[in-house]
Amino acid sequence: MPILKFTLANLSLTIIWMAMTGDFSPTNFLEGFVLAYIMVAVAERSDTAATYLRRGGKLLLLFLVFIRELIWASVRVVRSIFMPRAYLNPGVVAIPLDLKSDFEIMLLGHMITLTPGTLTLEVSPDKKFIYVHTMELGDSVEAFRQSIKDGFERRILEVTS
């Protein structure tokens, strides 16, 4: 069963769960989704099912990494508001991309823009670089580049490949 079929089966079972319980709250949706996720994975024991489970875990990890970065970036922005001269070192950095699809690049760009203190400016026409503005470049441009590549980009590749 391909990944798309797993996802559709999962969502269908979730909707059935919500209809049977008569509760359309976000909490009940999450409960139904988790139960359906387990049911679909157990029902279809194959490499595709294992891939489906791994991707779900990697997607959760990507979400948690994004939340962690969101919190830390918010703290850094608040710190720079109260001590602007000490922490402001703005700059624009070209980050080479290992991502190939438009969806992957778009996801990375949105995650960077949603993180306080950073903004995606542009993707190069050949899709090999993404240009990012940051409030806190720090001492090393390479360290900033590596933080994006080891953080968001690597996690996106784990989910999509």
Claim to verify: residue 35 and residue 93 sit in the same structural domain: no
End-to-end CA distance of the chain: 17
Query: Is 52 part of any domain?
Result: no
Query: Is 59 part of any domain?
Result: no
Q: What is the band of 56 on the pLDDT scale with cuts at 50, 70, 90?
A: confident
Average pLDDT on 57-66 reads 86
Claim to verify: residue 139 and residue 90 sit in the same structural domain: yes
Claim to verify: residue 100 and residue 156 sit in the same structural domain: yes
Q: At what angle do helices 3-21 and 26-43 cross, to 10 degrees?
A: 130
For residues 3 and 37, is the Cβ–Cβ distance under 8 A? no
Query: Is 149 part of any domain?
Result: yes
Say how many domains are in the chain: 2
Chain segment 25-40, per-residue pLDDT in tens: 988 888 888 888 877 7
Q: Is the pLDDT of residue 154 over 70?
A: yes
**Residue 98 and residue 120: Cα distance in Å, rounded?**
16
Identity of the residue numbered 6: F
Query: Is 65 part of any domain?
Result: no
* Residues spanned by the domain of 16: 3-45
pTM of the model: 0.69
Q: Tell me the helix, strand and coil percentages in the chain, rounded to 5.
A: 70, 10, 20
For residues 73 and 87, is the Cβ–Cβ distance under 8 A? no
Claim to verify: residue 39 and residue 88 sit in the same structural domain: no
Query: Is 154 part of any domain?
Result: yes
